[in-house]
Chain A
């Protein structure tokens, strides 16, 4: 009995509705489908949760309010004053990543955030957006971000490139962190699932591990959405308040 173990198969992009514009492939894929589902679910949660705005919230309203307050607190504490303007963006970002991660945990679904191109696109939007905010708010002064205060001029030759580099790798760390966590977790789940399928009666052990792993993955899914959002807040604080 040979069962092929292909733990990476789950990340295949499939064209559900092939579409082409010129030579550009704009097919509706399983990735696009899951994104659509995530957006629809978030919208539904927000609309249904706020439809009957009661003083004593019901279940759905509670969920909505908790999500709202959680992100609002995060923005207030981490992004500093005047960051409330950016709350809608960070809330959207957080909810989208959270729902993408959680939807990916449903068996036979697809994890959007396990693709580096998706997470990198999100991180690039944050990076470019934050840079624009910084330049708009501070103009030429924004470059002072790269010059540490109170450092001898001789050291600046070394420190300015380091600061510049450390600014430029932000989209990479931001995207690779999310992508790698999701990829590793789901691959691990699939590997243990494969073990369970191939060892017959002893399948109880890998299955048991998988049960634990799903719990861990739930934690990772929420945490990674949180980390992505909180780092966006911190970057925003840098741009809004140059030390």
Chain B
């Protein structure tokens, strides 16, 4: 359960190999130049594997986090409640209250991980984020410009 196998990790990038039987100029250097030009134009048109890569990294990162996020929140909160109970002698109220808080925290963490607000504690309200356009997305696009 703790390990999420990222399906997106395999084979998302297609590699364009030059054909052997390409009818180019005989001079190998000229042909290399041609290939370089082609590669460059391709790169200018659409960044090679750029957005693909970022999306994949993001997906894998999120996928690996979600499973454990919820469980740890509940377990840690409940444990904290139990310790508080022992310390303050308020059994069983601390455990009960913190258990529900832990469930809430876990759900919030998973929700944030999924919606791309990342792990931000006290993230901005959704309405504001929507008006600005997805903040998380913008961050990822920065390096591709």
Footprint of B on A, CB under 8 Å? 73, 76-78, 80, 144-151, 158, 161-163, 165-170, 172-173, 176-177, 180-181, 184-185, 216, 219-220, 223-224, 226-227, 230-231, 234-235, 237-238, 242-243
Q: Are A166 and B142 in contact (CB under 8 A)?
A: no
Contact partner, A226, options B3, B61, B108, B142, Cβ 8 Å: B61
Known: A144-B122, A162-B108, A166-B121. A177 touches B77 (CB 8 A): no
Q: Interface SS of chain A: helix, strand, loop or mixed? A: helix
Q: Are A165 and B68 in contact (CB under 8 A)?
A: no
Q: Are B61 and A230 in contact (CB under 8 A)?
A: yes
Known: A166-B109, A173-B68. A223 touches B6 (CB 8 A): yes
Minimum CB distance partner of B104 in chain A: A162
Residues of B near A184 (CB, < 8 A) are: 2-3
Q: Are A146 and B122 in contact (CB under 8 A)?
A: yes
Q: Are A223 and B122 in contact (CB under 8 A)?
A: no
Residues of B near A163 (CB, < 8 A) are: 121-122
Residue B49 at the A interface, CB < 8 A? no
Q: List 22 A-B contacts (CB under 8 A).
A: A146-B122, A147-B122, A148-B124, A148-B125, A149-B122, A149-B125, A149-B128, A165-B73, A165-B77, A169-B73, A176-B2, A176-B72, A177-B65, A180-B68, A184-B2, A216-B5, A223-B6, A223-B9, A227-B61, A237-B120, A238-B121, A243-B122
Contact partner, A223, options B64, B104, B108, Cβ 8 Å: B64
Chain B interface extent, by class: 35 or more
Minimum CB distance partner of B70 in chain A: A173
Contact partner, A231, options B105, B119, B125, Cβ 8 Å: B119
Residue B16 at the A interface, CB < 8 A? no
Q: Are A162 and B105 in contact (CB under 8 A)?
A: yes
Interface string of B72-103 (1 = CB under 8 A from A): 11001100000000000000000000100110
Contact partner, B64, options A145, A158, A162, A227, Cβ 8 Å: A227
Known: A80-B139, A185-B3, A231-B119. A177 touches B73 (CB 8 A): no
Residues of A near B102 (CB, < 8 A) are: 165
Q: Are B118 and A243 in contact (CB under 8 A)?
A: no
Residues of B near A149 (CB, < 8 A) are: 122, 124-125, 128
